[in-house]
Amino acid sequence: MRALVFDGTLRLERSYPTPEASAGEALLKIRRAGICNTDLELIAGYLDFSGVLGHEFVAEVVSGDPSWIGARVVGEINVADGTCDFCQKGIPSHCRNRTVVGIAGHQGAFSDYMALNIANLHRVPDRVTDDQAVFVEPLAAAFQILEAQHISPRNRVIVVGMGKLGMLCAQVIRLTGAEVIGVVRREKQARLLNQWHIQAEAKTELSFAQADVVVDCTGTQEGFADALDLVKPRGTIVLKSTYKGLPQANLSRVAVGEIRVIGSRCGPFDAALRALEAGLVDVDSLVEARYPFDQIVQAVQHAAQQGCLKVLVDI
Ligand SMILES: [Zn+2]
């Protein structure tokens, strides 16, 4: 089968071994996949990744448990052992022995076929298109903010880093009724936010220390510094960023301002699917380009351009 492999160099292999489903797994035929910033960070050296990339996808089940065959599915990316103390507590996303699809120790979805635990699968409702389903994984990550931080409708929330994930976070937080402001650097970002009636401002237009919650989706140390400028004393910074390298930060300001810093990663797929089915979140406007699988290396180069939104790949 075809697979996008990274092992220091990035290439599309055409005779990569097709996986087989073992007990508890289904074999998935990948229909469409999305390129995430995490993919670009892995290619840049984050986690010393080696293998088949890709973790945002929609697929069809082609073998495994008969009750799943033919189902159109999305898949949670953390594959848990089901036995460790975190799994026993119902927190498989922090399984001590987890692998992560296309990120750590598990084959990714930029491939014709992938085997995945049936426990990770979610059926996609008919009303949700393939394009929309590719956004379930990052949209679930946006919903995870609400799991970690109560956001009141009286709050002012600022999202820094208006890329693909930031756009989803701003739309999800808007559902709480809170005042949401996206910090923009480009006209395209402002236009999208205005389309959803979300306020768009440049960092220079915002007063310091006026936000109850700041969500950092930048992936840069400058983004965390901006979040520290914008958050109120005793406010909260929610970190959605992962970084290659070790960013510097002025932690004295965290102590003096009594700022809470909360890390946030993968989230509830069910909530993301419900939001897409009900039309509560617009993901279609975030599609910037689509490529056939044979041109996936060019697709990755396109996705790496500054300000690029979602690039989809038809597998
Ligand atoms: Zn476990």
> What is the largest distance, in Å, between two alpha-carbon atoms of the chain?
58
**Ligand 1 centroid – CA 119 distance (Å):** 13
Average pLDDT over residues 222-230: 95
Q: Would the pLDDT of 244 be above 80? A: no
Q: Which residues have C-beta within 8 Å of that of residue 296, sequence separation ≥ 6?
A: 4, 12, 110, 313
Rounded distance from Cα 78 to ligand 1 centre (Å): 10
Q: CA nearest 206: which of 227, 176, 234?
A: 227
Query: Ligand 1 center to residue 100 CA distance, Å?
Result: 12
Task: Enter the tokens of residue 237.
Answer: 């910074």
Give the pLDDT score at 223: 92
pLDDT for 215 beyond 90 = yes
Answer yes or no: is pLDDT of 285 > 90: yes
- CA–centroid distance, 105 to ligand 1, in Å, is 15
DSSP conformation letters of 57-125: EEEEEEESSGGGTT-EEEE-SEE--S-SHHHHTT-GGG-TT-EEETTBEE--SSBSEEEEEGGGEEEPP
What is the 91 CA–ligand 1 centroid distance (Å)? 8
Q: Where are the domains of the chain?
A: 3-135+283-314, 139-263
> In angstroms, what is the span from residue 294 Cα to ligand 1's centroid?
36
pLDDT tier, 55 (very low <50, low <70, confident <90, very high otherwise): very high
Q: What is the CA radius of gyration of the chain?
A: 19
Backbone torsion region of residue 309, taken as left when φ is above 0, otherwise alpha when ψ lies between -120 and 50, otherwise beta = beta
N-terminal to C-terminal alpha carbon distance within the chain: 11
Distance 120 CA to ligand 1 centre (A): 13
Instruction: Give pLDDT, residue 67.
Output: 96
CATH architecture, range 139-263: 3-Layer(aba) Sandwich (3.40)
Q: What is the pLDDT of residues 152-163, one digit of tens each?
A: 999 999 999 999
| Beta-strand pair 287-292/310-314 | parallel
Digit-coded pLDDT (tens) for 245-267: 788 889 999 999 999 999 999 99
**pLDDT value at residue 301:** 97
Same fold, 3-135+283-314 and 139-263: no
pLDDT number for residue 246 = 84
Report the separation in Å between the CA atom of 96 and the middle of ligand 1, taken as the mean of its atom positions.
Answer: 5
Question: Which tens digits make up the pLDDT trace of 194-208?
Answer: 999 999 999 999 999
Contacts for 192 with CB less than 8 Å, ≥ 6 apart: 167, 285, 286
Q: Return the structure tokens found at 278.
A: 């009900």
Nearest to 130 by CA among 303, 310, 3, 305: 310
Please report the pLDDT score of residue 219 as a whole number: 86
Which pLDDT value is given to residue 63? 96
Question: Helix (H, G, I), strand (E, B), or coil: what is residue 5?
Answer: strand
Distance from the CA of 85 to the center of ligand 1, in angstroms? 6
Please state, for a pLDDT cut of 70, what percent of the chain lies above it: 100
Mean pLDDT, rounded, of the chain:
96
Q: Looking at the DSSP assignment, which residues form a beta bridge with residue 114?
A: 28
Chosen CATH of 3-135+283-314 out of 3.40.50.720, 3.90.180.10, 3.40.30.10, 3.30.360.10: 3.90.180.10
- pLDDT classification of 111: cutoffs 50, 70, 90: very high
Q: What is the mean pLDDT of residues 36-55?
A: 92
Q: Left if phi > 0, otherwise alpha if psi is -120 to 50, otherwise beta: which for 314? A: beta
